[in-house]
Structure 1
């Protein structure tokens, strides 16, 4: 692989791979195992795997050497998708961890930025550890057992997930480019020195490898033990349902509609849709019935002011939230039917309490929604009481309370959800609609939306065009804040226009060049820059390989 990654990966092999005890429930510092012993037993292989689980939500330097405190991996990567797409809107000029810079498109478009470097670095570290397990199991001579297959299935799934993330960020979208010739990312199969530096493989080669890995993962899982344990901690482990879910995402992103639909159905079978109370509870726990996969963050290893909820929730007690409440696109919120309970999490009439609000309407006297200060103050107090915050938190019209801390107003850790059955219904509906199977696409969409909207009538969306527009609306609403905006817009080849149709509520002064962005097929700024350090170190890459 590349020389920079060579050094990082070599270091990772000799760095203790950290894990938690059974089901990640203990509150003591994690155990450690040396690379020399990593493949000595199935128990040790499980410790390697547990280290990768933990690496999804830990600050990168605590698990993988050479990382940086500025990113806690998927705590950042998950909401980043909606931050980039303009779904998760900043209401004020507060900055931390490059979160505003990310929203302004001044982060992923810079080859020396922390985001471009650490996303690349984190995903390749996952690939290294997956390779270590895959290669080690193949060469170990261990008797095949259900437990060994379960570990192997997770390793293949992790490698597929990491490559899908890399190719969707550092290469042109499959459906809008020429995958056979478009440069993707380097393929790495090594797990020990010497590493072989590689040039960028094509997007098609990467997609083919992902498909192969997912097939191998599903085969291994079919002969595995299934998840061990129960509750929120168990869902930190990957299983056959996660493999099917990632295959559904992979197939959807490349227009393999039949595989996408079938895989989505397979992934969601054991995860019933949430009811209204659960949907409104804050998306802070893997215990929710429809969560297929998520990280269970234990108190001893919280990331505090590096967490998903610090960046995206309006109840986390941090300056990024208190000074800059996150709002939703008012065009989306205004289109939610009154009969749809999801609309309850968006507070249209929240008073604009921040005198430094980006829209210039902060503070009583500037907020056009309130002409009586007592009414302004009373509404603020009412929202504080309902959502567990105080006057140290600013409010803003169209602010959200979809993502809420289990203990609002604190910095306590919460789980990070990666995959839900709702997403799988939406994938099935989109895939079937794209195959012109309108009746079955309607059935898939209706199964989800009837749970959310008591008056939903799918029959009115009876053409491919109207049904796809409704599927897009439902996807934006159902998955809002969960990070799918960036890859959705690339797949749909949609631009960003905060000014259109009455405006999103975002400030042009704050959003700068990101206020209006051309669609991905004509604007290569959607593609993340290859880290410059990578180009400097890899003899098979040069400045001409830069996106």
Structure 2
């Protein structure tokens, strides 16, 4: 932390000031940007917020020295949750950006891995900049204005977001451990050199800090300017709904069911559920009505082959996708009712066109020239016709391999391209599901049913929530709904930790994953008995931080 943070402020300031207000750079040399300049007025403080927004999706080497082009921050961290959980299933052996290594659980379990290191430093760099604003406003001689409160609210929300991400990855799950004694992550409150952190605080201490920050954020937002309406860019700005949504996530992860339910209701106000057309449009823009918060990825700062959709969308024109179409767990897809339009984005009968497919059923037989896919045995015409139909429907070509149960939930606005698209972090659907889970855990059956009903009836024309009339049946159904509704959006990792569920690709007929490809990650014990769910503290941090020793390693 110490070595990386020392230079970060200058790096992010160059990025943010260059892209937001060129005349600031004309007045201030890039090697002389200081905290005093950043805190000189509200305009400059807002530029720091803009830099934080862009830092969420920029390639990490633009954020701090020693960053790596293979990690474009949330482009990588968002789908990583479903990659680790076995939800975003690989159909072939491709390892661009270490994506296969992640899937096989051979990255986050190593203290020297790029993922452990970059995620740690990215989140702490968010905290550093939040601290700069929080401390500067607290210690400065500023007149309180609605705009200043909005900036303060965003800073507190960012800090809470970063700490929640850190403690959920580098600490044991709150509900499955002993949070008062389990080690979490260091608290960092400084915004000036030498950026010295505290030793690792307990999971409970980190959760307490998150609560304090979110309460402060909500209070500031209540007295601040509202987020403007408009296009996708405005939803990059954090607002009171984002703070309530993060508090709902925080409360759900710690079993504070009443708070989770009430905060989820507040978070989704003003963000109506999408209809079928919008739900099937590709999840590529903040303009969707449900989007509470997301990064608006501007074209001049695109990450190209480092993007979320390069790793997860079957329409992105990159080798990770063309060679390795991503598929969904067939046990989940098969369970989706035919009356539920979400089933349509999972192509059960897509032909297996990849000779290198992990299940050895792809391509054409070298001897007979017929499909090896048993769904198209002796039916070359049907195989070719279905492939052409899928290509035409989703804007791809024969350069893209296909595979049964491949998805088209995440789609580029411009299919078959490498154009940048937005990265969605929070939707109102998630908030309905949080409320439903929280009420089910309180054994409030009518309340949980009422929370599920709007979402279920929008998605499924035959939906009847009353059939789920016990706590167990409700929880089973809520888990199913989360797996369908939020598939590909990165919630699998934290969901499984909260539910204390392992990974078993072999159970109940199998997920469709290959044991040869998935290796030890084909079956993984539940988090309460397997500490491999906890990310390793970066070795570089242990080497640099005098307050963290080898004995602190997870």
Work out whether the TM-score is over 0.5: yes
- Quickly name the TM-score band, shorter chain normalised: over 0.9
3-state SS of 1:210 partner: helix
The alignment partner of 1:293 has SS state of strand
Structure 1 pair 30/90, CA: closer, same or farther in 2 (3 Å)?
farther
Shift of 1:13: 2.6
Paired residue secondary structure (1:374): helix
Contact 1:429–1:442 (Cα < 8 Å) also in 2: yes
Shift of 1:47: 0.6
SS state of the match for residue 161, structure 1? helix
Q: Give the match's secondary structure for 1:97.
A: helix
| Residues 429 and 229 (structure 1), Cα distance of their counterparts in 2 relative to 1, 3 Å cut | closer
Distance 1:10 1:88 in 2: 36
Q: Is the 8 A contact 1:18 1:48 kept in 2?
A: no
Tell me whether 366-375 or 80-89 shows the greater mean CA deviation.
366-375
Secondary structure of the 2:424 match is strand
Q: Does 1:8 align with 2:15?
A: no
Segments of 5+ residues of structure 2 without an aligned counterpart are 365-370
Once residues 242 and 355 of structure 1 are traced to their aligned partners in structure 2, the CA distance between those partners, rounded to angstroms, is 45
Q: Is the 8 A contact 1:182 1:202 kept in 2?
A: yes
State whether residues 28 and 300 of structure 1, in contact with CA within 8 Å, keep that contact through their aligned partners in structure 2: no
Q: Does 1:415 align with 2:422?
A: yes
Structure 1 counterpart of 2:368: none
The question of whether the paired residues in 1 share the 8 Å contact of 2:241 and 2:292 is answered with: yes
Equivalent residue, structure 1, for 2:44:
44
Whether 1:517 and 2:524 are equivalent positions in the alignment is yes
Contact 1:55 1:64 in 2 (8 A): no
Asked whether the equivalents of residues 84 and 105 of structure 2 are also in contact (C-alpha less than 8 Å), the reply is yes
Deviations 1:494-535 (A, max 9, x none): 010000000000000000000000000000000000001111
Q: Is the 8 A contact 2:2 2:544 kept in 1?
A: no
Cα 1:234–1:162, aligned 2, differ >3 Å: closer, same or farther? same
2:394 paired with 1:387: yes
Contact 2:351 2:383 in 1 (8 A): yes
Residues of 1 paired with 2:16 and 2:184: CA distance? 35
After TM superposition, give the deviation of residue 66 of structure 1 in Å. Answer: 2.7
Q: Measured at CA, do residues 334 and 25 of structure 1 come closer, stay the same or move farther in structure 2, by a change above 3 Å?
A: farther
Q: CA deviation at 1:25?
A: 9.3
Which residues in structure 2 correspond to 1:87-236 (within 5 Å)?
Answer: 87-228=87-228, 230-236=230-236
Q: Under a length normalisation based on structure 2, what TM-score does the superposition of the two structures give?
A: 0.96
Cα pair distance change 1:331/1:123, threshold 3 Å: same
1:366 aligns with 2:372: yes
What is the Cα deviation at residue 537 of structure 1? Answer: 1.5
Please state if 1:237 is matched with 2:237.
yes
Which secondary structure does the structure 2 equivalent of 1:112 belong to? coil
**Which of the residues 460, 469, 479 maps onto 2:486?**
479
Q: Does 1:505 align with 2:544?
A: no
Residues matched between the structures, number:
542
What secondary structure does 1:521 align onto?
A: helix
Deviation at 1:226?
1.1
Q: Does structure 1 conserve the Cα–Cα contact (< 8 Å) formed by 2:258 and 2:439?
A: yes
User: 1:16: how far off?
Assistant: 4.9
What's the CA shift string for 1:6-45, capped at 9, x where partnerless? 22212113335146689x8999999997224111111110
Judge conservation of contact 1:290–1:422 (CA < 8 Å) in 2: yes
After superposition, give the CA deviation of every residue in 1:412-446 in whole Å (9 maximum; x if it has no partner). Answer: 00000000000000000000000111001001011
Residues of 2 paired with 1:29 and 1:363: CA distance? 57
Question: Do the aligned residues in 2 keep the contact of 1:126 with 1:162 (CA within 8 Å)?
Answer: yes
Q: Secondary structure at the match of 1:506?
A: coil
- Whether the aligned pair in 2 keeps the contact of 1:19 and 1:50 (CA below 8 Å) is no
Partner of 1:427: 434
TM superposition score normalised by structure 1: 0.97
Q: CA 1:159–1:435 in 2, change beyond 3 Å: closer, same or farther? A: same
CA distance in 2, matches of 1:281, 1:509: 34
Query: Per-residue deviation at 1:130?
Result: 0.2
Does the 8 A contact of 1:249 with 1:260 survive in 2? yes
What is the SS of the residue equivalent to 2:353? coil
Cα separation, 1, equivalents of 2:539 and 2:79 = 24
Provide the C-alpha distance between the structure 2 equivalents of 1:30 and 1:227, rounded to a whole number of angstroms. Answer: 27
